[in-house]
C-alpha cells in the first residue's frame, strides 16, 4: 500500500557518548525538529521503543527519522 502525501525522509543513527548533550535527558526534553521522530533505541542487546518519558543513556544508539524539506 502507498501512503498519500508521503514526505521524503531519511534515517539517521546517533550514538550517545559521555559528552553528548542528550545523555541523561528524557526524549520529551530533546527539542527535536518538526517532522523528526526517534523510531527506536538500541541499548546493549535490547531494542527500546521510546516514549516521551524514556531516558537517553550513554551508549544508546538512536535511530531517528528526519523529514526532508
What's the predicted TM-score (pTM) here? Answer: 0.84
Could you list the pLDDT tens digit for every one of the 69 residues in the chain? 555 556 678 999 999 999 999 999 999 999 998 889 999 999 999 999 999 999 999 999 999 999 876
Supply 10's cell numbers: 531519511
Amino acid at each position: 500500500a502507498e501512503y498519500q502525501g508521503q514526505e521524503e525522509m531519511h534515517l539517521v543513527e546517533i550514538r550517545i557518548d559521555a559528552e553528548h548533550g542528550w545523555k541523561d535527558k528524557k526524549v520529551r526534553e530533546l527539542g527535536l525538529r518538526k517532522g523528526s521522530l526517534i523510531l527506536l533505541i538500541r541499548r546493549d542487546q535490547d531494542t527500546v521503543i521510546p516514549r516521551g518519558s524514556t531516558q537517553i543513556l550513554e551508549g544508546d544508539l538512536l535511530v531517528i527519522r528526519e523529514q526532508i524539506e
